[in-house]
Structure 1
Amino acid sequence: MSVTYTTAPGRVPGLGHAVALMRSPLGFLTSLRAHGDLVRVDLGTMPSLFVTSPPLIHTLLTDRKDLLDKGRFYDKVRPLTGNGVIHAYGAEHRRQQAMIKPSFHRDEITRYIEVMREVTEEKTAHWRAGDEIPVDKAMRDITFNILARTMFGSVVDRAAHEELAAILPTVLEAIMWRTVSPGDLLEKLPLPMNRRFDAAFAQLRDAISRVMLAYRRGTAEPGTAGMLSMLLEARDPETGRAMSDEELCNQIVSVTMAGSETAATAMAWLFYELARHPEMEERVRTEVLEVVGERDFEMADVGDLPYNRRVLQELMRVRQPILVISRRAVRDFPLGGGHVKAGTELFYSPYAVHRDPDLFPDPLRFDPNRWLDRPAATLPKGAYTPFGAGPRHCIGEQFAWAMMHVVLGTIIRRWQLTLADGAKVKEMPWATVNPNHMPMTVSPVRRREPVACP
């Protein structure tokens, strides 16, 4: 393939592309594809390469030669989160992934389906007809509590689950801020914000340590510790060694960090899109009522809801929560006929690629049926990567799809959500692309007999 290299327009001496990024970060990132396959963007005084071509993105994601680590932005949060599976690379990443992978086996996810449904029903039980709900906050509450309960099971009571879920927003805010903050100075200053972040991380680690101690002391029955029990029983495939308490804590923080904010953001945007497309909402509801009815969700239902699946696929395209993924060259290597030097910071934007009109005609149109015309498997490799690809492919992908199905199905068969009058929802680019707010009015769904999907 012929590969083009260029520098993005708008560079200012001493500031690089900082002004263009701050003025319109989403517009700047989506414009890069028009300038080349590999585009130089200066983040202040730090030059970097943005990869915009799907084949090169695929190469970047599927590297198996330990040419790349996670990059400078991950370095900035590693002191807070530890070197868990999200941040490790090379042989260490492969070792950790092998130990954690059984926790996300289909059989384990099947056990978590009931938790997903139970939490969703509990968190929506107080809704009343005509209530105005901040749906973005409601989805965080639901997804954070699902993660807390699936992680710790019945080792701790519901109050402890709520405590853990309440800590997570501040922890994630800290991670996002330190990921995008320029330089390293701001996070080292004794600012109130930094003290709040540090206190939240200390609380989270203390809470996790208390749960692990309860399990080790035998106050929890085997099998009641949720995902934690799997992590405690995990062994290094080569040495047979178990994880230390510090490693366990790092893994729990990593898994929680990776799975909470992105899922919450995606689910908030889902109800926004369904409110904008009531005919799609009705079809989603009809399919759920036909397949599941009023009974509890089961793992098999996830595969029996094809229209729901296409809606979620389209959601993870047009409302992809992840703005930018970073990598860094560990040593020199060829890329697209060029040469990347060791130490080079590389980035790509799943958000931007998923809105490329050459790949997805009329890319801003929310159209679940585009996946009938062109299934994801027929797209160029690297074009649709909602959960990454290659050795760093998100280990929790199937958990995430199951959670989205269950949360959607549980809510939509009982409630209709409409945008509050006068509400204007905007994308807010942070580490994830969040809505600025999402006030929605809830109405109960009139009970009716399931009908066949059209």
Structure 2
Amino acid sequence: MTITYATAPGRLPGAGHALSLMRDPLGFLQSLRHHGDLVRVDLGPMPSLFVTSPALIQSVLTDRKDLLDKGRFYDKVRPLTGNGVIHAHGDEHRRQQAMIKPSFHREQIARYAKVMHEVTAERSGSWRPGECIPVDKAMRDITFNILAATMFGSAVGRAAHEELAQLLPVVLEAIMWRTVSPGDLLEKLPLPMNRRFDRAFTGLREAISRVMLAYRSSTGGGDRSDMLSMLLEARDEETGLPMTDEEVCNQIVSVTMAGSETAATAMAWMFYELARHPDIERKVREEVREVMGDRDFEMADAGRLPYCRQVLQEVMRVRQPILVISRRAVRDFPLGGGRVKAGTELFYSPYAVHRDPDLFNDPLRFDPDRWLDRPAASLPKGAYTPFGAGPRHCIGEQFAWAMMHAVLAVVVRRWQLVLSPGTKVREMPWATVNPNRMPMTALPAPGRGGRA
């Protein structure tokens, strides 16, 4: 395999490639594959390497020698999120991952599936025929309420769920803003948004502390299958010690950071694509009704709905929410026949790779059937990484797939979401690739009726 190296065109003294990125970040990232497998991009005065080759991406993601940590952009939010599993490195990452892994076992997710169904049915059940729904906001509302309910379960009442569901988006906004903001100055200034972010972080940690206190003071009974229960009961494999309250709080914030905005954004794009492709939507609805009838969604349904799975796979390809993934070399190591120096920031763009015409035929076409012709397992490793790969592979992947299946099944059985006339939806690149807006009209689903 011949590895090519280059510097991206358009570099300016001092500013590097910042102007090109600001003008058209999505186009710029997709253009890098034309210049090499490893492409130098200067983020202001900071040189970095963008990896565009699937083979090299796989190499970077599957490193098991602790050669890479998460990088500078994650360092910027570490003071807010703590050293949870998203940020931890080496042995500490492995220790934390082992402690929280039971929270995401298949048996546990099967319990969460009931909550996913209930939250989605309740939230979408409040829509009215003919009502204009801001679907991007509706998916965030559903996602955050599912997270609050699965994290804290019966340990807290409905009011606490609502409080946490309101705080989580503000906290996530702060994390995302500080991840993408240039330099370190803006987050230190006494700006109104920084004060709002600080209040939200303080409020979230206080709310989590109250929940943990309520849990410990309760006399038992009820359903203790929520994430908080699992985290509080987890023990270190070597020492037998539990996590501290601070560590539990860090894990909750980390889980929120890792999955909430990504899942909400993907589900918004999912309904956008269904609205643009009514034949695909019809096939999805027919499969859901045939398999589920009028009963609630359960985890096993994710395996009984193959066409829905193809649709979701295609959403996570052509509408991949994650713009870039970062890593940083902890020490010198070989890559692609060259050598990466310690301290080098490396990036790759799942969004750009998933739209590479050398990997996916007619890549901008939304085509769920492409996964019949060429299953994901047959693609080159590193070509399709909706949840990463290797030791830092997203621990919540199965949770995310289950949630997307549940929301899809519950909504399409009852509703048909139609794009408002004249609506033009644009991709807004931030930490995730969000729609600028997504007003859609909720109409009763065609065909026979059914409960949510």
Partner of 2:221: 221
- Give 2:281's aligned residue: 281
**1:36-185 alignment, distance < 5 Å:** 36-185=36-185
Q: Is the 8 A contact 2:323 2:429 kept in 1?
A: yes
TM-score (norm 2): 0.98
Secondary structure of 1:272 counterpart:
helix
Letter in 1 for 2:270: L
For the residue of structure 2 that corresponds to 1:153, the secondary structure is helix
Deviation at 1:398, TM superposition (A): 0.5
1:28-427 to structure 2, matched below 5 A, reads 28-218=28-218, 221=221, 223-224=223-224, 226-427=226-427
After superposition, the C-alpha distances for 1:198-249 in whole angstroms (9 at most, x for unaligned) are 1111111111111011111235536436111111110111111110000000
CA distance in 2, matches of 1:390, 1:222: 37
Q: How far apart are residue 306 of structure 1 and its match?
A: 0.5
Matched residues in 2 for 1:368 and 1:446: separation? 22
Secondary structure of residue in 2 paired with 1:442: strand
Retained in 2: the 8 A contact 1:49–1:344? yes
Q: Which runs of 4+ in 1 moved over 4 A?
A: none
In 2, Cα distance between equivalents of 1:319 and 1:274: 12
Following the alignment from structure 2 to structure 1, what is the Cα–Cα distance between the partners of residues 447 and 158?
31
Shift of 1:364: 0.4
- Alpha-carbon distance between aligned partners in 2 of 1:223 and 1:333, rounded to the nearest angstrom: 48
Q: Kindly tell me: are residues 336 and 146 of structure 1, through their superposed partners in 2, closer, same or farther at Cα, counting changes over 3 Å?
A: same
SS at match of 2:91: helix
Structure-1 separation of matches of 2:121 and 2:372: 32
Q: Secondary structure at the match of 2:423?
A: coil
| 3-state SS of 2:364 partner | coil
Which residue does the alignment assign to 1:444? 444
Q: How far apart are 1:449 and its partner, in Å?
A: 8.3
Q: Report the AA paired with residue 240 of structure 1.
A: G
Residues 425 and 437, structure 1, Cα contact 8 Å, conserved in 2: yes
Q: Which amino acid aligns with 2:429?
A: P
SS at 2:155's partner residue? Answer: coil
After superposing the two structures, state which structure 1 stretch, 161-170 or 326-335, moved more. Answer: 161-170
Tell me the distance in 2 between the aligned counterparts of 1:127 and 1:84. 37
Decide whether the 8 Å contact of 1:18 with 1:44 is kept in 2.
Answer: yes
Per-residue CA deviation, residues 64-84 of structure 1 (Å, 9 max, x unaligned), is 000000000000000000000
Deviation at 1:340, TM superposition (A): 0.3
1:446 CA drift (Å): 3.8
SS state of the match for residue 321, structure 1?
Answer: coil
How many pairs were matched up? 450
Q: Offset of 1:418 from its aligned partner? A: 0.5
Return the alpha-carbon distance in structure 2 between the equivalents of residues 68 and 56 of structure 1: 14
Matched residue type, 2:93: H
Taking only the aligned residue pairs, the percentage that are identical comes to 80
- SS of 2:139's equivalent? helix
Contact 1:151–1:225 (Cα < 8 Å) also in 2: no
The structure-2 alpha-carbon separation of the partners of 1:219 and 1:164, relative to structure 1 and needing over 3 Å to count, comes to farther
Please give the alpha-carbon distance, in whole angstroms, between the structure 1 residues aligned to 2:43 and 2:449: 57
SS at match of 1:154: helix
Q: Secondary structure at the match of 2:40?
A: strand
Between the aligned partners of 2:395 and 2:30, the Cα distance in structure 1 is 27
Does the Cα contact within 8 Å between 1:223 and 1:229 map onto a contact in 2?
no
Q: Is the 8 A contact 1:116 1:407 kept in 2?
A: yes
CA contact (8 A) 1:308 1:405 kept: yes
Q: Distance in 1 between matches of 2:220 and 2:382?
A: 44
Preserved contact between residue 222 and residue 229 of structure 1 (Cα < 8 Å): no
Q: Aligned-residue CA RMSD in angstroms?
A: 1.1
| Contact 1:215–1:225 (CA under 8 A) maintained in structure 2 | no
Partners of 2:177 and 2:343 in 1: CA distance: 23
Deviation at 1:448, TM superposition (A): 2.1
SS at match of 2:326: strand
SS of the residue aligned with 1:49?
strand
Which amino acid in 1 is paired with 2:414?
R
Structure 1 contact 132–441 (Cα < 8 Å) conserved: yes
Give the AA of the match of 2:319.
Answer: R
The superposition leaves residues 321-356 of structure 1 with CA deviations (integer Å, 9 ceiling, x where unpaired) of 100000000000000000000000000000000000
Mapped to 2, the partners of 1:407 and 1:334 lie a distance apart of: 43
The answer (yes or no) to whether the contact 1:416–1:445 under 8 Å persists in 2 is yes
Gap regions ≥5 residues in structure 1 = none
Deviation of 1:126 after TM superposition, in Å, equals 1.6
Give distance in 1, aligned partners of 2:210 and 2:281.
43
Q: State how far apart, in whole Å, the 2-side matches of 1:331 and 1:205 are.
A: 35
Q: Secondary structure at the match of 2:92?
A: helix
- Give the whole-Å Cα distance in 2 for the aligned partners of 1:169 and 1:104: 22
Any conservation in 1 of the 2:154–2:222 contact (CA below 8 Å)? no
Query: Partners in 2 of 1:289 and 1:31 — Cα distance?
Result: 42
User: 1:214, 1:220 within 8 Å by CA — same for their partners in 2?
Assistant: no
Deviations 1:373-424 (A, max 9, x none): 1100010000000000000000010110010001000000000001011111
Determine helix, strand or coil for the equivalent of 2:39.
strand
In 1: Cα distance, 2:414 partner to 2:6 partner: 52
Counterpart residue type for residue 419 of structure 2? L
Residue ranges of structure 2 left out of the alignment (5+ in a row): none
Cα distance in 2 between the residues matched to 1:238 and 1:6: 46
Deviations 1:159-206 (Å, cap 9, x if unpaired)? 111111111111111111100111101111111111111111111111
Distance in 2 between the 1:449 and 1:128 partners?
15
Which deviates more, 13-22 or 120-129? 120-129
8 A Cα contact 2:414 2:449, kept in partner: no
